[in-house]
Amino acid sequence: MSALSHYLQQQQFCLVLEQIVSKRTELPPISTLAGLPCVMAFADRVHADDDPSPITLAQSVSPEQAKLLHFSGKARDVKDLQQFVEQAKQQNLHDVLLLTGDKLKQHNFGHTDPRQRTRYLESVSALMWVKAHAPEMYCGVAFNPFKYTESEEQAQYLKFEKKQRAGADFVITQLGYDLNKILKFKQFVDASAQPCPVLACVMPLTYRRAKFMVKQQVAGIEISRHLLQHLKAELQENAAWAEQRVYARAALQIWIYRHWGLAGIHVSGCQNPEQQALLEQAMAQYQTWTLEQCLMEWNRLCKIVRGDEMQPDLSAAYPQRQASVLKYQVLQVTHDWLFDSTLAQKIGRFVFQRQFWQQGLAAKSILAVEHASKHAVVGCESCGQCRLAETLYICPETCPKGLANGPCGGTRLDRCEFADRECIHSQKYRLAKQVRQQDILRYELIPAVPVEIRQTSSWVNWFNPKVIDF
């Protein structure tokens, strides 16, 4: 049994210390902090797209150290995941956090040739693959509870239900400072059919870090105007005192989450021993405090009076565009008749199971006809494995990351992480609600599209499924 799964299954509250490094380096091991067991987490492609592999970094730390590997789906395919899992197993590393990942630093979104577009292996599909092919791995997933419109929040929760169905062993939340959102998510998980351990991300938030995240619009991280101004005022008053309060708030978050029954904390921004010592010191101060005392102190240190101070300005929400119900209905009827009916299946198999359609001019022609008939209507990019019926006829290829199972964590008030559109999954949620099809977004687990199948006709593939690795 791996160390992390042992702690979580034994309900032993633990700290997962995230290491973000851009070059291979000596990382000092750490077994406990403030009396709590520690796991080192090796981030993947956070600093730069060519960061060293988490497996390489993990190898540089003593074998006794408990470790968690991150795997990011940025610019990756199922084959990359397969290779990653094989290497991890060889190193006796079995704990992995499966992430879709934020946008690449050097992303080529907007490239006119879909064949050269950056692809993302989404976390749900990655989890499906690992559970099917390497069940000995202990798999975590991410969740971003810091969403403030109904559509972006519900889309996140529906996707999380898919992750539960796909077999997530534990979940780690996005970094955030609106504690009510963490409590709401914890209560949701506990009430669900498949509860799993919840860890929350905590980072000692200095003014410099907060300003950077606001300025860079770091994906999915919500720093309210109130919080930013409060941190600035503290720093201007006295730098040493401000630093103490930064660590005091992080310590309070940790103990509050423990009181709420979370399984542990994913600690970011505490890589070096000096930072860890400051956190440990602050944690010792509040270790014996009750939940009420911790919450009162948190409110005092954050200057929370009304209760909505950690929320974003809701007037900045992206203008919502309603997907057409009529278009959905027409496409659904068309799909049922042409692809799902018994007659269609018989004719389709008779016609398309011939080798004739697999290559040469016939393959090119059928692909061109399919693209011409679907691109203008739904934005089809000839993925070869049409998922429209499972995505309410909103094509996943119109998401810059190509996500089919639900949103990434990067939306901000419905605005896509790439900033140029509303998140397609927010639109899809509203349509689902209107046509009462939320269960499709909750239950349909959609596998990844293998690279080899792209730019082939999904019509031919539908009636003549290729042997793919799912």
Q: Which of 418, 445, 451, 454 binds ligand SF4 (CB under 6 A)?
A: 418
Nearest to 116 by CA among 71, 74, 73, 75: 75
- 423 contacts ligand SF4 (rule: CB under 6 A): yes
The residue (of 74 and 230) whose beta carbon lies closer to ligand SF4 is 74
The residue (of 101 and 197) whose beta carbon lies closer to ligand SF4 is 101
- 268 contacts ligand SF4 (rule: CB under 6 A): no
What spatial distance separates the first Cα and last Cα of the chain, rounded to whole Å? 26
The residue (of 145 and 400) whose beta carbon lies closer to ligand SF4 is 400
Q: How far apart are CA 419 and CA 85, in angstroms?
A: 33
The residue (of 144 and 385) whose beta carbon lies closer to ligand SF4 is 144
Task: Find the shortest distance in angstroms from Cβ 341 to ligand SF4.
Answer: 32
Q: Which of 156, 411, 427, 457 binds ligand SF4 (CB under 6 A)?
A: 411
- Computed on alpha carbons and rounded to an integer, the radius of gyration of the chain in Å comes to 24
Task: Find the shortest distance in angstroms from Cβ 102 to ligand SF4.
Answer: 9
SS3 content of the chain, % helix, strand, coil (to 5): 50, 10, 40
Q: How far apart are CA 85 and CA 130, in angstroms?
A: 8
Q: How far apart are CA 38 and CA 159, in angstroms?
A: 29
Task: Find the shortest distance in angstroms from Cβ 428 to ligand SF4.
Answer: 10
- 188 contacts ligand SF4 (rule: CB under 6 A): no
- 416 contacts ligand SF4 (rule: CB under 6 A): yes
- 383 contacts ligand SF4 (rule: CB under 6 A): no
- 425 contacts ligand SF4 (rule: CB under 6 A): yes
Nearest to 403 by CA among 173, 158, 223: 158
Task: Find the shortest distance in angstroms from Cβ 240 to ligand SF4.
Answer: 40
Nearest to 287 by CA among 37, 38, 10, 34: 34
Instruction: Look up tokens 């997530």; give the residue.
Output: 168
The pairing of strands 198-202 and 32-33 is: unpaired
The residue (of 78 and 403) whose beta carbon lies closer to ligand SF4 is 403
Instruction: List residues binding ligand SF4 (CB under 6 A).
Output: 399-401, 403, 407-408, 410-411, 416-418, 423-425
